Structure 1
C-alpha cells in the first residue's frame, strides 16, 4: 500500500506542521483507539484531540500501538490536545496538561490549545472527568473570573518545562488575539476555528495569517458532524456533500465532495482535521491535496458563505457567549 503524505504548513519557529490531520471528536471507546491506529497506518502524522472529547486514553492507546509496531516513532507524530475551560486558573493548568499527557502516554504535546476563551469554575477530576460544561454534571454553568493572561502565562511555563512545543488558541476572535499579542511572551503558533463553505471566516483568517499564525479549520464539512448530535441548526441546513455547487466542482475533478471541500480549505493555506470513520475515508481525505481548484471554482465554493456557525456555546449553554 502506497501511503499519501500530507503537505505541511510552516509555523513561526520554522517547524513544518502537517496540513491534513485527523480529528478525534466523537470517536469513543475502542473505536477511538482503532481510528488513531488506522490513521497513523494510512499516513496521518497529526492527531487532534482534547480533554473535552473524553477519549484521550483510548486515542493514546491507538498511538502507542502504532509506535509499538514500528509504524511511527513518537517524533513523527504531532500530538495535539486542548485545555478545558475548568482548568484556566494558573494552579490547575499544569494538572490538566499532565493528565492529558498521561492519557496519551507521551511526554510532550506538539500543539496545545486553549479550547475556549471561557473560564468556568474548577471541577476536580475526582468528581467527574472530563468536566464538560456543567459544574454539577447536569445543568449548571458556573463561570470563573480568570483572565486569559493568567492562563496563558501558566502555559508559557509549561513550554519552558518542555511539556508543550507550540501554543495555540481556539474559538477566539481577532480582537482577543490582538489583546493576547500585547502580553504573550510566547506567541500562539496556531489558531483553530470553525471554517467551512457556509462560514468562510475570510477576515479572521486574513488577520491571523498576517500575524504569523497558521490557521486550522475544524468542522470542515459544516453541518455534518453536528447532525450526528441532532443539532436543530444543522438539521435544517442543506448538507454540503449534496450541494449542487460542490457536486458540480467534484464532477469536474473526478473527486468526492469531501475532497473538494478539503481542497478549498487547503488552497487557502488552512490546515484541516477531518474525522474519518474508515481507512478508505482516511486515504480519500489525505489525497485531497493531489489536485488544484481553479480560481473560479474557489470562488464558487466561497460563494456559499452565509456566516453560519454550528459550534456556538450560546446555543446550548446559557451565558456562554463568545461570538457577537
Structure 2
C-alpha cells in the first residue's frame, strides 16, 4: 500500500475528509473530487506506472473493460502518461461516461449488455493485440491504488472506528480493508439487486449473481473479485444490503445537504446510514467513502 502511495503521489488528489456537522455524525471522504470524479484513478495510475517500470507496456498500450468509471480512470491516466488506451464498455454504459472516455483520447468499443461481456472482449483484445490488460477491480496494483483512500482516511483521522464503503467487484473494499486491517472495521454496502460480496460470503466462495438496479452501471459486477473475497476471509466485514429506493434517497441527501453530485453507486455506502440498515453505536466514529460523481446532473433534484 505504501509503495502504491509513493507511486501515485503527485498524480492523484488527496481528497478531503469532511468532519461531522449538523445532525450527521459521520465523516465523508470526498473521493468524488478525485481526477475523473472517481476513486479508480488511483488504481489506474498505479497499474500503468508499475507496468511502465517493468517495461510491460508497448505500442498497443493498455486495454480495460468497464461499466464506465474504470474506463474513465484508465483513459485519463493513459493520456497523462502518453499511453494508448482501448476501453470496452457494455451497451448499457451511461453516455455521460462514454463521452468523457472518448474525450481522454481512448478508443471506446461497446460490447454486450453487461460488464462480463465487455470483460471477455477486452481479454480477447489483449491476447490478439499485445495490449496490457488492466482489470477494473481485481488486480493487485489496482487494489493497492484504491487502498490509498483508506490510508488517507486513517492518516487524517486516526480515531476513526469504522469505514463504510460500497462494493461492486470489490476493488475499493479490498484495498481499504487491507489499509484498515487491525485499525478500523469495514462496513461493506451493496445494492440488494447486485450483491456479489454478500452472496460469496454466504456461499463460501465467489458466485455469479444477477445484475440490475439503479447502481448497476458502477456496481454491476457479476462476481466479486478474488482480492475482495480474500479480504473478507481474513477479517469479515459487516455486510449490509440496501434497496434501490434507499440509494436514491441517499443520493438526494448528499446533494441537498452537501451539494455532492454523487452517482448512485457512490451514494450506496451512505445509504446504509440514511436507511438505518447500519446504525452506529453511541460514540462510534464513522467515515463514509463517497467514491464517484460521474452522473447526469439533470437527474438530481436541484430544487432541494
TM-score (norm 2): 0.28
More helix by share: 2
Bigger CA radius of gyration: 1
TM-score (norm 1): 0.27
